A and B are shown apart, each in its own frame.
Chain A
């Protein structure tokens, strides 16, 4: 009897030991397939234009983030079906989820890339170019880009003089969504300038409201705030220089922007839960606190907010929720901060380039625009293609912006602009916790930027 009990005990602890022994060594390598021993030869990028050759009928493999059962994945598949109908080229689609960068990196390394990838971050495009993994686009694609898109989209997909992709999906991140009922009952007028925004916020506070919900737990929402302010106070030229680290983060223009930003979301009275408390509020939570529990009146962010507010708490565009453009600061021209998804070709399969060419046409994305939750940077896509006035207004703001800048944190190395709790995100979170401490935060941020750009 006694022996048997001890044996059980040994078994339990053995199991614990095996579990412990397996994970530390095994988990470091989960995405590397067993036996990756092929030499890592990468084909040189094609110099001739593959898109001009006639389609051979070979199926094109396409990868993106959303799964085939996700509404966005289905909308994209509808676009691909339109391509097959127009060209007769078959397409196989796979949604890779948030692991797309890792999986793509591994497949490129193993010389088994998909034909076309839609990249959610432009930083990935540069990285893949540096690994010689992308095909420059054909003349036909360049023509399509020139005919339908503002120059900035071609520039964004261009590295060292060669263009590698088509930005066919974009996001407008210069929007402020508000709770219609709260704005009506408080009697404020919607702000058009920064100073009005500050005074309207004070008015809301006096009336017993909390003006702004900030999703401080998600650092990217703070970098969106910062970028929106910076492009307005410093202008697009300095914005570009800061993006490329040609000026340091200790530059006076950065300090000015942070201090300006502090007038609004550095004021604990203006921010739901206070500035430090907002650090524990996630993005979806922050939206729910505006349109669900009515703790705050406004939230700055991307166009997705309308959809999320609808899914989470049933907020209806127009009656419960509306938006205004991020106000101008000291007479700055209307500026839009945006992001986008870029389609790139990784093989010389002629169908790949044909698909890129198709994606430059306004017809390609009409069905997606109609499905909602989608904004196209294509200037020739009729605004009537969008399902409601709000999404048409979001798209109009994007294609008609006097100044358009791409999300800075997406353009800098991921260590600086894409890691939770670190780099720009982490330092802006530190700032939100202690908005007075601008100089120390910028010194630290500059050190991280120098490391990210240097290494």
Chain B
């Protein structure tokens, strides 16, 4: 069909076209064009939309620390997020070409894109919880941590008297073995009665048991009401199954014993002299606390990782469909000429894929700029300032409390201006694509 004929036909059908396009144009005008104009208009007015303030909102915008952090974070998002997601998508697309069940594989990877972004944010917020008993990610990291340093039975406890010291060498105190033996009392605090074994009974106060013997007790040195520290009182429970070592001044272990249900232990065969009674540090090894993913320092990184999970499948699908459309002859020819797989990828596949990668990259850049719902879902209230991005700051300014509509509109316009060049680039690319055809 020549272009002259086409123009004629178009002219003849203009009325019909208008009839069909009319409603769509009206909707577009009412829901896109008018709000856009109104937003620009509002951005020159004060918070209630009454008084004209000129460019004041645009100046005010940059005075707030919150907005500056939002701009910085949006910048990080734009730089890091499209690159990571496109790379992830490319790697997954190329690798999944070789997988037998690639449709199922790609479907699963695409599934996060079907979840509302706010929900994804909340899912990740739960997975990122610091406490390894709550957050999946720290729970996973806790597995090796617990193997390397298994938490001890006495973790979190503290000695009840000043002469018993808890340090890197474990719990220790000085004991004297005299002519009729010696006595040691190791009182512990910060341990719940319920956490002791069922068999635990009233602690037994040690008495000297004769030459060469150290008699001691490990016990929970607390009871309700009148309570004396360092004294084994009625109502205080023994702490069973604690290993106590006797170490001489040279650091050699000369004896060891475990405490019974009443917390009592005794160690024989000691020459008179001065020793240390030691509970080894392994008993006090704390459990790993977990990484504070959602704390102020890591929150943006944590959110970007969640973003890769959400958008990686989208990038994979688009790039994979681009891969499928590539002419195979060139790759085959290169292989026949003896190119390695990596060379084929690097010199043939990648250059041919560039337009597709560009499309994905631009779409992701726009997504990064208007990032909003993911942050709302993932960031606890206390780190919303540190996780802030421009679109979120716009919403917080315009719609929390009574809202500052003028300033919020100004931020919206600012965001639009940032997105504009990316959009124009994309439109130009479409035109080029069409011309090429």
Chain A residues engaging chain B, CB cutoff 8 angstroms:
2-3, 5-6, 8-10, 12-14, 16-17, 20-32, 34, 40, 99, 101-102, 105, 109, 123-124, 127, 131, 185-188, 203, 205-209, 216-219, 273, 276-277, 279-280, 282, 414-415, 418-422, 425-426, 429, 433
Query: Which residues of chain B have C-beta atoms less than 8 A from A207's C-beta?
Result: 189-190, 192-193, 222
Please state if B190 and A206 are interface contacts (CB–CB under 8 Å): yes
Q: How far is the CB of B130 from chain A (nearest CB, A)?
A: 6
A20→B385 contact, CB < 8 A: no
Q: Which B residues are CB-close (under 8 A) to A101?
A: 401-403
Flag if B325 contacts A6 (CB, 8 Å): yes
CA distance A40 to B49 in the complex (A): 10
Distance in Å: Cβ of A170 to nearest Cβ of chain B:
21
Contact B419 A279 (CB under 8 A): no
Instruction: List 8 additional A-B contacts (Cβ < 8 Å) besides A28-B42, A209-B192.
Output: A13-B426, A27-B391, A216-B382, A277-B292, A280-B129, A421-B384, A422-B385, A426-B382
A24-B321 in contact (CB<8A): no
Interface-facing stretch out of B27-35, B145-153, B277-285: B27-35
Using known A-B contacts A13-B426, A282-B381, determine if residue A188 contacts B224 with beta carbons closer than 8 Å: yes
Question: Could you say which of A28, A203, A206 contacts B35, with CB atoms under 8 Å apart?
Answer: A28
Question: With a CB–CB cut-off of 8 A, which chain A residues contact B131?
Answer: 273, 277
Asked if A22 and B32 sit within 8 Å, CB to CB, the answer is yes
Which DSSP category, helix, strand, loop or mixed, fits chain B's interface?
helix
Whether the Cβ atoms of B412 and A24 lie closer than 8 Å is: yes
Nearest-CB residue, chain B, relative to A208? B192
- A208 near B363: Cβ-Cβ < 8 Å: no
Do A421 and B382 contact each other (CB < 8 Å), given the known contacts A27-B412, A186-B224? yes
**Interface presence of B50 (CB below 8 A):** yes
Q: Does B264 contact A (CB under 8 A)?
A: no
Question: Given the complex, which residues of A lie within 8 Å of B38, measured CB to CB?
Answer: 29, 32
Complex: A127 Cα to B404 Cα, angstroms: 12
A187 to B233, CA, bound (A): 15
* CA A299 to CA B243, docked complex, whole Å: 38
Question: CA of A123 to CA of B403 in the docked complex: distance in angstroms?
Answer: 12
B247 an interface residue at 8 Å Cβ cutoff?
no
Size of chain B's interface in residues, with CB distance under 8 A? 79
- Which residues of chain B are near A30, meaning CB under 8 Å? 35
Q: Within 8 Å CB of A9, what residues of B? A: 318, 321-322, 325, 356, 359
- CB-CB under 8 A from A12, the residues of chain B are 318
Contacting pair B42 A29 (CB below 8 A): yes
Docked-complex contact B321 and A5, CB < 8 angstroms: yes
Closest to B221 in A: A206
A208→B423 contact, CB < 8 A: no
Q: Which residue of B lies closest to A2 (CB)?
A: B325
Beyond A13-B363, A273-B131, whether A280 also contacts B382 by CB under 8 A is yes
Contacting A at CB under 8 A, from B184-239, are 189-195, 222-225
Task: Choose from B190, B402, B423 the contact partner of A20 (Cβ within 8 Å).
Answer: B423
Q: Which residues of A contact B267 (CB under 8 A)?
A: none
Stretch from B71-79, B161-169, B392-400 that touches the partner: B392-400
The secondary-structure label for the interface of chain A is helix
Closest 6 CB pairs of A and B: A187-B224, A414-B401, A28-B412, A208-B192, A25-B36, A421-B384
A-B contact list, 14 entries, CB within 8 Å: A8-B321, A9-B325, A12-B318, A17-B363, A17-B423, A24-B391, A28-B408, A28-B413, A31-B399, A123-B401, A208-B195, A277-B131, A414-B400, A419-B396
Residues of the A chain whose Cβ atoms lie less than 8 Å from the Cβ of B427: 17
A276 touches B295 (CB 8 A): yes
- Which residue in chain B gives the minimum CB-CB distance to A282? B380
B39 within 8 Å of A (CB atoms):
yes
Please tell me if the beta carbons of B363 and A16 are within 8 angstroms of each other in the complex.
Answer: yes
Pick the most buried of B49, B356, B380: most chain A CB atoms within 10 A of its CB.
Answer: B380
> Using Cβ atoms and an 8 Å threshold, which residues of chain A touch B50?
40
CB contacts (< 8 Å) of B381 on chain A: these are 217-219, 282, 420-421, 425
- Write the chain A residue with the least CB distance to B404: A415
A426 to B211, CA, bound (A): 65
In-complex Cβ contact of A105 among B48, B192, B385, B411 (8 A): B48
Asked if B366 lies at the interface with its beta carbon under 8 angstroms from chain A, I say yes
Residues of A within 8 A of B31 (CB): 26
What chain B residues lie within 8 Å of A419 (beta carbons)? 396, 400-401
Give A207 to B400 CA distance when docked, in angstroms.
Answer: 44
Inter-subunit contact A20/B295 (CB<8 Å): no
Known: A25-B32, A206-B190, A420-B381. Is A13-B359 also a contact (CB below 8 A)? yes
Residue of B nearest to A279 (CB): B382
Q: Which residues of B contact A421 (CB under 8 A)?
A: 66, 381-385, 388
Q: How far is the CA of A245 from the CA of B39 in the complex (A)?
A: 34
List of A residues within 8 angstroms of B156 by Cβ:
208
B324 at the interface (CB under 8 A from A): yes
In the bound complex, residues from chain A placing their C-beta under 8 Å from that of B426 are 13, 17
What's the minimum C-beta distance from B200 to chain A, rounded to whole angstroms?
Answer: 13
Could you tell me if A28 and B403 are in contact, using CB atoms closer than 8 angstroms?
Answer: no
Least CB distance, B158 to chain A, in whole angstroms: 8
A276 CB contacts on chain B under 8 angstroms: 292, 295
User: For the complex, what is the distance from the CA of A347 to the CA of B227, rounded to whole Å?
Assistant: 67
Contact of B402 with A5 in the complex, beta carbons under 8 Å: no
**Least CB distance, B159 to chain A, in whole angstroms:** 11
Interface centre among A219, A420, A426 (most CB of B within 10 A): A420
CA distance A20 to B423 in the complex (A): 9
Tell yes or no: B294 within 8 A of A by CB. yes
**Among A23, A219, A277, residue most surrounded by chain B Cβ atoms (within 10 Å):** A23
Residues from chain A with a CB closer than 8 A to the CB of B345 are: none
Partner of B401, one of A8, A23, A29, A418: A418
Interface residues of B in 361-398 (CB under 8 A from A): 362-363, 366-367, 369-370, 380-385, 388, 391, 394-396, 398
Q: Report whether A187 and B409 are in contact in the complex, using a CB–CB cutoff of 8 Å.
A: no
Q: Is the CB of B382 within 8 A of A206?
A: no
B105 within 8 A of A: no
**B-chain residues with CB within 8 Å of residue A425 when the two chains form the complex:** 381
Residue in A26, A27, A31, A429 whose CB lies within 8 Å of B382: A429
Bound CA span A48–B71, Å: 52
